[in-house]
Each structure stands twice: as structure tokens, then as C-alpha cells.
Amino acid sequence: MAERPISRAIKEFLGEAEEIIEKLNLDLVTFADGNESGEVDPELLNSIFRGAHSLKGISGMFGFDDISTLAHHMENLLDRLRLGKVALSGILVEVLFDALETLSRLVHGKGETEEYSLDLAPVLTRIEGVLNGAAEGKENLLAGLNINPAILSVLTEYEEHRLLDCFKKGRNIQSVKFSFNLASFDQDLAEITDILKKKGEVISTLPCAGEFADRIGFQLLYGTSATVGEILAALGRDDAVVDLLGEKAVAATPRPKEETFATEPAGEGQEGGATSMRSISRTVRVDIDKLDSLMNVVGELVLSKGAIAAVTEKVRAGGNLEMAVELQKAVRVLERRLDELQKGVMEVRMVPVGQLFEKMVRIVRRVAGEHGKKVAIDIRGADTELDKLIMEDLSDPLMHIIRNAIDHGIEPPDERLAAGKPEKGTIALWASQKGNHVVIEVRDDGRGVDPEKVRRKAVQKGLIAEGTELSRDGTYDLLFLPGFSTRDEVSDLSGRGVGMDVVKNNISALSGMIEMDSRPGEGTTLAITLPITLAIIKALIVRVCGKTYAIPINAVMETLMVETASVRTIERREVIELRQSTLPLLRLENIFKLPVSSRRDGRIFVAVVGLAEKKLGIVVDELLGQQDMVIKSLGSALSFVRGIAGAADLGNQKTILVLDVGGLMSEALRGESAFYV
């Protein structure tokens, strides 16, 4: 994406808005799950309401009226829901998801241009439709609860709704009374509230006069399925007075004498159990561009360290040993500090993939709904960390894979039941770390890939001859060709194959690799192997035909020196035997059309590289050593050059090319070296 000037203030807005939307997304998914089970956490609803309110506030400050307007309507709907003025329903939840999706698109669009906007009329109409639906009347319900009018008269509208909701659910409405010492009443009240929340809902907290001058009393209105005795046991305090209120009220418990409380109206901010709005997080948002800049500085320092080390060697060779020793000590101190700095910056860039998976949950829900399919999502390894930039670039390919899996893989409910499968399909998102790589697997339990159907389509398109036998890998390779699809008709979503070439290219651009496995009738798995970071790497420097290249060391498994006589040819491909297995070889001079050097003394060096379960031997003339380096992009003008991940400075005024190991392996193992320029 081309760089575009953007003000610091707008960057701050985008960062905060994205954070709010991510939290709203997560909360809404939990809220929707609770709706399906019939249990909705009122504190969760309050959290969603506060999110919409915050987004309205910050967008209004920046003059983004469209975001502010939609957030205001969403907030209004949530408020009416909080107060019981609209009924909770599946339609209401879908409207909330629609509004959030539109908000997300608006915020994303503002990142491209501040003038970006959308037609909000459809989503606003849907919100108004829900708001104008049947409202529940509750005028006479409170009066029928047989609760002291003095208590009812001080409840807020929200607390009245929560009281009625608890009553409708058959919960016991209890009054829990305490008196606390003035010096520590806040901590004591918080402790009591936490205990009560584990067994029910604190509807209201009403301060009142204590029995003594140095004490203050509180009456908590409480809804729970537990009995009075169970609550007393949970509190474990002799000074607690718990009464059952309402129509089910019984005699007060034989606890310490009942006090007379003069109730007062609850103060603002006490709804939802006096939850503090103060942030407990000690984290700050950092613009990833600033981290990139910092990492570049670290890279330059690493190069400078290498230059100083080289000077040290020259001084030593010149006979000035005393000076060389002093310089060497300084280099070692610098090296340790640089390692600490580099490690610190790297840790800041790492984020859990769970953030990406949470976004995908919304995609799964929406796409499944559009196609009338029932899909559950199984997330594992969400704590696995990945470079923030890699994760951002991974989001679009991952979304495409998931959309394909739902559209083409997961069967409709009736088809699944007929096949003896559960009505609800499953999309699994699993992440794990393997050495210096992260593997992300997308699994579905759908109908899988039919090899014969793929073969017929390939014959029809003239890609293979009739009668050609395809291996499993050969079948899957066809699905990654541009424009290949097993679908006869075009849908809103692509069939598996359409756009998968783009997915593969995007993964390769991240120095990653994608592999497919499928069983007809059982499902499909796509495994994406990615380096943990691309920011600064250790690389193996090699020379081929007089040219110097860098191979990311995290892909290098070992280096070998082999006799040229041991190189054999199988199906026109060079291979060697390596520990009872066959290792295919790749010659860079063939890939990059280099003039072949005459120096071949009967031995060659082989750098064995591997990603996922595949290995490849890259033939080189010399191994020059290892070095830390910062990879620079070749830019859009040279984006057509394949097999190259970028360029790097060696620190001696010399720039070399860094090999794209994932891309080289993908194409070389398919025998398509002609792809490269």
C-alpha cells in the first residue's frame, strides 16, 4: 500500500478506534453466545454500551460525523436493551453485528482517506426497526413484587429493569445489609460485592446511615438462585443481615438484630455493581512505523558493530595488540547491549495471534449466516506470538481461506445430517510455534476436495492431458493456479481455488509457505508456515557464480559439502542422498540465469533449507559466514522478481539480495524454475 501523509492526531484516533472495535467485536460474540443459551451477562452488555459510547465520543471530537451518528444509534439501541425497553432477539444481535461491521469499514476507510464514508441509511433503518418494535410494559410489575416502596423509589430505571429481569428468571431477590468502619468501608464493600457476584447479580448498592457515628451502612439489592442460608455461608460474616424480599419473602434470618436503614438514592456510576471505569492496564499503544524505525536504527548499529570488529582485526594484524585488545573489549560490550536492545524491540513487536483469530470469528459468523450454514469455531494456540506486521499482512489471506472453507467446504445442515455428520460444521484455527516459525492451521470438517473433479476440470481447461494421473500434491497444486476453480457457477464467495493463487503469493511474500491436505467427505486442512519476524534476521551469506546472496538462517537446517559425483538425476531433477532420503537440489544460476563459473573442483556446497515438512538443497559455491541484517523491500517496481524476499546492507557499502526460501521451495519442488526472472 502506498504511503500517504496522515496526521499524528488521525493516527491516534485510528489506533484508539480500532482498539474499541476489537473489544466490541469480542464482547458481541460472547454476548451472542449468551443469547443463544438464554443467559446474558448484564455487565457484558454494559461493556458493549460503553464501547459504543466511547467510539461516538472520539469520532465526534475528530469531526467524523458518520461514525459518530452510527455509534450514537447503536448506543441508543443498547441503552434501550439495557433498560428492557426492547426485547433481546436474534434479529437485534444481527443488527448490532451489522452496525459494528459498518463501523469497522468506516474506521478502516478513514485510514485511507479522511473523506471516506458509506451510506448509513440501511443499517440505521434496521436499528430504527428494532427500536420501534414491541416494548415491554412494566408499570404494574414492580408494584406486584411486594417490595418495600422505600427501596423501589430510589432505584434507577436500569436497576428497576435488572430487578424485574431477575424476578422473571425465578431468582430470589434478597436484601444484604452491612455496616463498615469509615476508614476502610470502600475495601470492605468491594470485597463483599466480589463474593456476591460469584453467586448472582448485585442489582443496586444503597448507602444508608450506620448504627454508630464511625460506621456507614450499605444495603445491597441482590438477585440470586441461592438461598439466604447459602449466601450467609458464602459471606462468612456474623454482622451480615440477609432478608428475602418480594412475594417469596419469609421471616428475617435469625442473625444479629435488624437495623433501621434510611435509604438514599444510589449515586451515579453504581450501576452494574459499582464497576470502576478507571483503566487497570499499564500498556501504551505504539505506532508500528515507529518500531520499524527503531528496528532500522538497531540494524544500523549492528552493521556498525561489524565494521568496528573488522577494524579491530586490522589493528591486530598491524601489530598493535594492546589497542586491538581494548577495541575487542569495547566490541563485546557493544554486542551484549545490542542483543538486549534488539530483543527488547522484537518483544514489543510481537502480538498474540488471538487478536487475528478474534477478527475471524466475526467473519465466520457473518459468512455462515449468509449461506444458511451452521458453523462453530475452534481456536487453539491463541497465545502464540507473531510479528505485528506479518499478522496484519496475514489477515486478508486468512479471511479468504475461511470464506472458501464455509462456501465450498462446509455442507448445508441437511446435507451434513444425511452424511451422518453433526448439523453444525466446525472451522478450526490452530496456531503453534515450531522453532523460529509459527504454523497456523485452518481446518474444516466439510466435504473435502474431490481429486477426480479437480482432474476433470483441469482437463477441461487444457491444463493437463486426458488420462493424466495426478498425485495428491499435484492435485492440490492445480487449486493454487490462477483462475482455477472446480465450481461451474460463480457465487458471491469464490469456490476453493479461485483466488488461492493470490493467497499463496501473499504468503510467499511473507517468506512463508502454504500446504494443503484433504480427505473427501472428511474435510480440508491448510497449514501456513511463517517466520516469527522479518524485521531483523540472522542470515547465511553465500556466493554463487560471483554473486553474493543471503539465506535467512531460520530456514537453514544444515550445510553440506558433497562430491559432484554423488549428484544423481531423477526425472530431470538433480538430487543427492541424505540420510536414507532423497534431497532435491536447486541451482541458483539456473533460476536467476547467471553465467556459470568455470570453478567446479569436484565438490559443491549445499545449504539444506526446510519449511514445514519439506526440504530443499540450494547449491552454492562458497559459504561466507553468518550476519545479522535488516531486510529492505524491493518496492513495487521490482515486485515481479520472484525468489527474492528483499535486499540487505552488509555494512561495507555493499548491498546483497535475500532469498525468498518459501517461494523458492514452492516453485522448485513443482519444477517450475522458469517462473523466475
Q: Which three cell numbers stand for residue 141?
A: 410489575
**Nearest-10 crossing angle of helices 451-460, 472-479:** 60
| Whether the predicted pLDDT of 246 surpasses 70 | no
Q: pLDDT band for position 202 (50/70/90)?
A: confident
Question: What integer is the mean pLDDT of 180-193?
Answer: 80
Contact present, 561 and 545 (Cβ < 8 Å): no
Q: What is the pLDDT of residue 72?
A: 92
Q: pLDDT band for position 608 (50/70/90)?
A: very high
Q: pLDDT band for position 249 (50/70/90)?
A: very low
Q: What is the pLDDT of residues 23-40, one digit of tens each?
A: 888 888 888 877 766 666
d(CA 496, CA 487): 8
Active site amino acids: 53, 75, 404
d(CA 587, CA 617): 9
Q: What is the pLDDT of residues 65-101, one digit of tens each?
A: 899 999 999 998 988 888 878 877 888 888 898 899 8
| Whether the predicted pLDDT of 41 surpasses 80 | no
Q: What is the pLDDT of residue 137?
A: 52
Contacts of 413 by beta carbon, 8 Å cutoff, 6+ apart: 372, 373, 374, 423, 424
Residue, of 234 and 497, whose pLDDT is higher? 234
3-state secondary structure of 116: coil
Q: What is the pLDDT of residues 327-377, one digit of tens each?
A: 989 988 988 888 888 888 888 888 888 888 888 887 888 788 888 888 998
Distance of CA 282 to the CA centre of its chain: 21
Question: What integer is the mean pLDDT of 401-426?
Answer: 90
Question: What integer is the mean pLDDT of 521-535?
Answer: 86
Q: What is the pLDDT of residue 294?
A: 83
* Helix ranges, 350-460 (H): 354-370, 388-404, 413-418, 451-460
Percent of the chain topping pLDDT 90: 10
Contacts of 186 by beta carbon, 8 Å cutoff, 6+ apart: none
Of the listed ranges 464-473, 517-526, 654-663, the one predicted with least confidence: 464-473
Q: What are phi and psi of 541, to 5 degrees?
A: -90, 125
Q: What is the pLDDT of residue 607?
A: 92
d(CA 608, CA 628): 20
> Between vectors from CA 176 to CA 173 and to CA 179, what angle results, nearest 5°?
165
Query: pTM, whole model, 2 decimals?
Result: 0.60
Question: What integer is the mean pLDDT of 135-141?
Answer: 54
| Whether the predicted pLDDT of 517 surpasses 70 | yes
Q: pLDDT band for position 639 (50/70/90)?
A: low
| Whether the predicted pLDDT of 599 surpasses 50 | yes
Contact present, 667 and 673 (Cβ < 8 Å): yes
| Whether the predicted pLDDT of 653 surpasses 70 | no
Q: What is the pLDDT of residues 441-499, one digit of tens each?
A: 999 999 888 888 888 888 887 777 777 777 777 788 888 877 676 665 544 444 444 47
Q: What is the pLDDT of residue 141?
A: 64
Residue, of 395 and 135, whose pLDDT is higher? 395
Highest mean pLDDT among 25-29, 260-264, 300-304, 437-441: 437-441
Question: What integer is the mean pLDDT of 395-410?
Answer: 89
d(CA 446, CA 444): 6
Contacts of 180 by beta carbon, 8 Å cutoff, 6+ apart: 188, 189, 210, 215, 216, 217, 218
Q: Average per-residue pLDDT in the chain?
A: 79
Q: Is the dihedral of CA 294, 296, 297, 299 positive or negative?
A: positive
Q: What are phi and psi of 165, to 5 degrees?
A: -65, -45
Q: What is the pLDDT of residue 651?
A: 64
Highest mean pLDDT among 269-278, 281-290, 325-334: 325-334
Q: pLDDT band for position 273 (50/70/90)?
A: very low
Q: Which three cell numbers stand for residue 342?
A: 534488539
